[in-house]
Amino acid sequence: MNHLPYHFYDAQREIRFDRFDLPAPWINYLSNGRMHAFVSQAGGGMSWWLSPMMFRLTRYRFYNMPIDSPGFYVYLRMADGTVWSPTFRPCETLVDFREASHAPGFSTFTAKKNGLCATLKLFMAQDYDTLVWELKLTNESGEEISCDVFAYVELSQFLAREENILGYYLKWNTRAVFDEDLQSITYAYTAWMHPRKDESPLVYFGSDAKIDSFCCNRDVFCGNYRDERNPVEVQNGRLSDTNLQGGEPCGALHTSVSLQAGAEQQLHFFLGVTEGALSDYEKAAAGAMETLTALRKDGAAERQFAKLQSWWKEHLAVYQCDLPDADAQRMINTWNPLQSVQTARYSRSISSDASGVRGIGFRDTAQDMLAQAYRKPEWATEMLWYLASQQLEDGHAVHTAWPEEKRPPQDITRSDDHIWMVYLAYAIAAETGDMRFLDKEIPFLGTDLVTPVGSATLWEHLLRGVDFTEKHLGEHKLPLILFSDWNDHLGPFGRKGKGESIMVSQQHIAALRQLAELAEARGESADQFRTFIENQEKALEQIAWDGEWFLRGLDDEAKPIGTHTQNHARIWLNAQSWMVIADACRDHQLEAMDSAARELDTGMGLLLNTPGYPGWPSKEAAMVNGLPAGYSENGGVFCQANCWAIMAEALLGRGNRAWKYYKQIMPNEVIQRVGVERYHAEAYAYCSTMLGKDNEKFGWGCVSQVTGTAAWMDVVATQYLLGIRPTLRGLLIDPSIPAHWEGFTVERSYRGCRLTIRVENPEHVQHGIKEIRVEGIKVSLENGPLLTESVLSGRSKARIHVTMGF
Ligand code: GLC
* CA 22 – ligand 1 centroid, Å: 27
* Sheet strand arrangement including 769-774: 319-322, 743-750, 753-760, 797-804, 769-774, 777-778
* CA 609 – ligand 1 centroid, Å: 15
DSSP codes, 135-156: EEEEE-SSS-EEEEEEEEEEEE
DSSP codes, 472-485: TB-TTSSBB-BT-S
Backbone angles phi, psi at 255, to 5 degrees: -140, 140
Specify the pLDDT at position 114: 96
Torsion of the alpha carbons at 47, 48, 51 and 53, rounded to the nearest 10: -80
Specify the pLDDT at position 615: 92
- SS3 (DSSP) at 781: coil
Those residues of the chain that have pLDDT short of 70 are: 1-2
Specify the pLDDT at position 406: 85
Q: Could you count the other beta carbons within 10 Å of the beta carbon of residue 670?
A: 24
Q: Which residues contact 660 (CB under 8 A, 6 or more apart)?
A: none
Question: Which helix (H) or strand (E) covers residue 605, if one does?
Answer: none
Nearest-CA residue for atom 7 of ligand 1: 707
* CA 114 – ligand 1 centroid, Å: 50
Q: Are 215 and 242 in contact (CB under 8 A)?
A: yes
Best residue for ligand 1 mutational test, from 360, 367, 414, 486 (most atoms within 8 Å of Cβ): 486
Best residue for ligand 1 mutational test, from 488, 642, 687, 712 (most atoms within 8 Å of Cβ): 488
Nearest-CA residue for atom 10 of ligand 1: 486
* CA 340 – ligand 1 centroid, Å: 16
HSE, CB side, 13 Å, CA atoms: give it for residue 243: 12
Best residue for ligand 1 mutational test, from 351, 640, 642 (most atoms within 8 Å of Cβ): 640
Ligand 1 atom with minimal separation from the 708 CA: 7
Specify the pLDDT at position 3: 84
Q: Which residues line ligand 1 (CB under 6 A)?
A: 348, 361, 363-364, 486-488, 633, 688, 708
- SS3 (DSSP) at 378: helix
Ligand 1 atom with minimal separation from the 363 CA: 9
Could you give the CA distance from residue 7 to residue 17 in angstroms, rounded to a whole number?
7
Specify the pLDDT at position 618: 94
Q: pTM higher than 0.85, yes or no?
A: yes
Ligand 1 atom with minimal separation from the 486 CA: 10
Nearest-CA residue for atom 9 of ligand 1: 364
Nearest-CA residue for atom 6 of ligand 1: 487
* CA 325 – ligand 1 centroid, Å: 30
User: What is the 3-state secondary structure of 274-326?
Assistant: ECCCCCCHHHHHHHHHHHHHHHHCCCHHHHHHHHHHHHHHHHHHCEEEECCCH
Ligand 1 atom with minimal separation from the 348 CA: 8
